Structure 1
Amino acid sequence: MGPVAHGGHCVARVPDPAHERGRVVFVRHALPGERVVLEVTEGTEGDSFWRADAVEVLEPSPDRVEAPCPVAGPGLCGGCDLQHVALPAQRDQKAAVVREQLQRLAGLEVPVVVEPVPGDVDGLRWRTRQRWARTPDGRRGLRKHRSHEVVAVDDCLITHPEAREPEPGEVVETVRGRDLAVAADGFWQVHPGAPEALVGAVLEALAPRAGESVLDLYAGVGLFSAFLAEAVGRDGRVVAVEGDAVAASYAGRNLPDVDVLPGDVAAVLASPEAPAVADLVVLDPPRTGAKRAVCDAVAARGPRAIAYVACDPAALARDVALLAGHGYALTSLRAFDLFPMTHHVECVALLEHATPAAPGV
């Protein structure tokens, strides 16, 4: 079995006369260095790669453990990719993926350590929101990987004992002693340790100063803006931009000292209502990343520092390369294990201009 790849699988090459180096197969439930029996789950002769499950392990890795959940495995619940991997090795795998993406897409060699955060027990019982599906006979369950088929699940081991299912309404989340209202079915980090870890990392990276101006892009209900506004004080200014109308309305309620601009981030940045300059920028985009138009618009404002909060290392690496074209260098990176037992990882990257950039550069 070959190396781990982005997406929760390992890369294997199986002999195939039509492919000189062997056909590429992305294999779930495997570990690098193992010998396994594969069962192809997706792929035909004309496809460039296949997908497969490791259904039998012939030579196991030292990092392989017995999955704690009885429905984590080939053909079963698709929610967890890595329950067969010891927790320290899970974090090593995620670090390797982040390193590989930054090297391949941004040309950077960056040391990465994935940090645990408080709020789970050995990687379990951390998910504070859980959307359940139902089997045909009405039992509670979760879907198989890349499928609409539902597997009955009596007890999801990554779900917090007090987890709630998203539904219409409103809840209040408390971070660092501050209450933030959020739609009960809206976005909020599902790991109980995530908000504190991310706020701390962003504030540490940016080191905001009194009187500075801040742009908080993809601001959600205002998690980062709330604490950035405190840091820059009355003489500073924070502008939060959020594309989801409901989240933007909550941000307006949560942030009396912040200017909240609702609307698509790229469109708002291109409009006259957005500030033309900023000392600091926070980017916390969805999984697809910020992309070129937003990166160009951010760099044009000449911030001294950009904190990029990323849930997808490939999108992060692509956008780091785009910002490098404007003179911004990746100067620090922290990675957090906010989704144990899955392949997902959250990063907070700091990008700084070699010299203070003038607006329009």
Structure 2
Amino acid sequence: MGRNTRQRRPRGASHVGERHAVTVGPIAHGGHCVARIPTRGADGEERTRVVFVRHGLPGEEVLVEITEGTDGDSFWRGDVVRVEVASPDRVEAPCQYAGPGACGGCDFQHVALPAQRELKAAVVREQFARLAGMDVDVVVEPVPGDRDGLAWRTRMEYAATPAGWRGMHRHRSRSVIPVDECLIAAPGAIDTSMAGQPPVVEQVHGREFSVEADGFWQVHPGAATVLVDTVLEMLDPQPGEKALDLYSGVGLFARFLAERVGESGRVVAIEGSRPATAHARENLAGAPWARAVAGSVDRVLADRFDQPFDLVVLDPPREGARRKVVTQVVDRDPRAIAYVACDPASLARDVAAFGELGYQLVELRAFDLFPMTHHVECVALLVKERQETSGP
């Protein structure tokens, strides 16, 4: 089995390679489930050790092999190497490279597709309960464009083996295994590891968008369309309104916002990547009332565009917008905010921050844009809380 090659200082005796019979507990954020095993510490006292287990399902009775863990670690990691009592949601992985010690790209190939979505919904609910103190009702929705959870990834970044073969990394490892075919890759997927590729053109609702071959664009064929439709439905932009599109990429949301607000409105798109901003200017060329600005979102908002805006779209990277940007957005006094998030933990944390500043979550949707993996895309609508007014 592959081993984690990241260098870190040992914290006591290693338990890597040990095998333990466990009952798999609930799903956790990150593509693994929680299990607990009894251990005895260096002082001789018995303890219960948390193990994050891959390739298991809640309720299963399995044999787990420890892949990372020492006496001093707060938790261990492990892989299911034998299933004694299987979940009814367990299926045979369609990919020959999936499983313990193999490719780390997929987390849920052993799980039936409807159950994958239920697991992701459970993670979203747990993150909101833990980080935002909120009880949310969410269903992870399928999106057209994949084939039973396969053949959806339109951009692939392959690694190379020492012999030069195309491959994929093992989970939490620099080790590469050769891969003849990746089943989640879409036909004709762009290999972003190849340098010197020209920009490509993507289409959404008949509009063309120029983007670098290795630049950011949603990798599921149906993603851009469903996200645009959801954001527009939530925000309901009106002619003459002003909108901010933050972490705007090549201007996907900005372009549709510009069409809705019209010439009497205004759209400002802010993006940290200069190449993406250059493409955004090209993609927004037909709407001179829409402007693309290059720069870190928090730095740009620190001293520019400090007038009120009616609408805000947030589509930050995995770490989220964070408190500084949340505060800057609230300072613009928007009537509605659409937050597009690829990480439910970051989203829950930022939603809590918005709540402290007077914006409440009124709608939350989740989409299965990354089948076979633990990733899930969410779109949240936040609106300004109505201020109670006293009578005359």
Whole-angstrom distance in 2 between the partners of 1:282 and 1:252: 18
The answer to whether the Cα contact below 8 Å between 1:303 and 1:356 also exists between their aligned partners in 2 is no
Alpha-carbon separation, structure 1, partners of 2:310 and 2:283: 23
State the distance in 1 between where 2:40 and 2:126 align: 29
User: Which amino acid in 2 is paired with 1:151?
Assistant: I
Q: CA deviation at 1:94?
A: 0.2
Match in the other structure for 1:136? 162
1:50 corresponding residue in structure 2: 76
For residue 301 of structure 2, what is the aligned residue in structure 1? 269
Identity of paired residues, percent?
63
What secondary structure sits across from 1:89 in the alignment?
Answer: helix
2:43 is the alignment partner of 1:11: no
- Say if 1:304 and 1:356, in contact at 8 Å, map to a contact too: no
Following superposition, the deviation at residue 282 of structure 1 comes to 0.3
Question: What TM-score does the superposition give when structure 2 sets the normalisation length?
Answer: 0.89
Match of 2:352 in 1: 321
Distance between the aligned counterparts of 2:28 and 2:47, measured in 1? 18
Aligned to 2:4: none
Tell me the amino acid that sits aligned with residue 105 of structure 1: L
Aligned to 1:73: 99
- Find the aligned partners of 1:139 and 1:260 in 2 and give their Cα distance: 41
Unaligned 5+ runs, structure 2: 1-23
1:312 corresponds to: 343
Q: Please state if 1:94 is matched with 2:135.
A: no
Corresponding residue for residue 149 of structure 1: 175
TM-score, normalised via structure 1 length: 0.97
Q: How far apart are 1:39 and its partner, in Å?
A: 0.8
Query: Could you tell me which residue of structure 2 aligns to residue 222 of structure 1?
Result: 251
Contact 2:190–2:213 at 8 Å: present in 1 too?
Answer: no
Checking the alignment, whether the CA contact within 8 Å between 1:212 and 1:279 is kept in structure 2 is: yes
In structure 1, runs of 5+ residues without a counterpart are none
CA RMSD of aligned residues (A): 1.3
Aligned partner letter, 2:250: V
Q: Secondary structure at the match of 2:116?
A: helix
> In structure 2, which of residues 200, 223, 226 is the aligned counterpart of residue 194 of structure 1?
223
Deviation, 1:139, is: 1.8
1:311, 1:345 within 8 Å by CA — same for their partners in 2?
yes
The offset of 1:261, in angstroms, is 1.5
- How far 1:356 sits from its partner (Å)? 7.5
1:281 partner SS: strand
Instruction: Return closer, same or farther for 1:326/1:20 CA change in 2, 3 Å cut-off.
Output: farther
Helix, strand or coil at the partner of 1:270: helix
Partner of residue 115 from structure 1, selected from 137, 141, 146: 141
Paired positions, count: 356
Q: Of 344, 347, 352, which aligns to 2:383?
A: 352
Choose 1 or 2 for highest CA Rg.
2
Q: Is the 8 A contact 1:16 1:22 kept in 2?
A: yes
Distance 1:333 1:21 in 2: 39
Distance 2:182 2:307 in 1: 48
Distance 2:264 2:295 in 1: 26
Matched, 1:39 2:62: no
For the Cα contact (< 8 Å) 2:343–2:375, is it kept in 1? yes
Q: Tell me the alpha carbon deviations over residues 90-126 of structure 1, each in whole angstroms, 9 at most, x when there is no partner.
A: 0000000001001110011110100111110100000
Counterpart-to-counterpart distance in 2, 1:134 and 1:55: 27
Pairwise CA distance, 1:17: 3.5
2:34 matches 1:2: no
